Amino acid sequence: MDPVVIAVIVAVAVLVVGVVLVLVARSRSRSRRAALRSQFGDEYDRVVSEYGRSDGERELRARLKRRRELEIRELDEGERDRFGKAWDSAQSTFVENPSTGLRDADLLVQQVMRERGYPNERFEDRAKMISVDHPDLVERYRASHRTVTDVEEGSAGTEDMRQAMVDQRYLFDALLGGGDAARTRRM
């Protein structure tokens, strides 16, 4: 065979292999992206908007990795009962003194998280881990935290505190493991 023909055949083969490798890489990237979107829901869009697609997806994969390293445990029935009674107390306090009741609820959610094994150092670390296990509730958690902060600064209204209490309740029920966050009663 002519050396020119052989060179052309080799070049075409290399080009075809290159195109196939690019298509496979794109397909894997799309699959990983779809898996992250499915896992994180609206949180995927928020993080990608904040970080950009590549860095945002890297951040979400890091969250998944960090979450796998944690030993999150279920609460036993006695713990769930104890925390349930503490919630009832926080809710009763809310009726008489909304800012104190909301603060108690916020601290109770943190306590449940700590008991289950979630990080408890900084709010943003807690929110990141909640985004892995409860992506549908993480924005409620962030909103309620903003309101708790506003209460501390004296700038939250009663309706804001009521909504924050409801948001805390959704997450509390989900963390407790004995409640269905989707069916939590409205206050």
Reported as a single tens digit per residue, the pLDDT across 97-131 is: 999 999 999 999 999 999 999 988 899 999 999 99
Residue at which a domain ends, from 69, 86, 110:
69
112 shares its domain with 171: yes
Split into its structural domains, the chain has a count of 2
Task: List, in order, residues 6 or more apart from 84 with CB less than 8 Å away.
Answer: 176, 178
The percent of residues above 90 in pLDDT, for the chain, comes to 66
In the prediction, which pLDDT does 187 show? 36
In the prediction, which pLDDT does 183 show? 36
25 shares its domain with 86: no
First-to-last alpha carbon distance for the chain, in angstroms, is: 84
In the prediction, which pLDDT does 28 show? 65
d(CA 180, CA 65): 26
Tokens of 134: 């409860």
pLDDT-flagged residues of the chain (< 50): 178-187
Which is nearest to 128 in space by CA: 55, 53, 52, 67?
67
Which residue range forms the structural domain that includes residue 129? 77-183
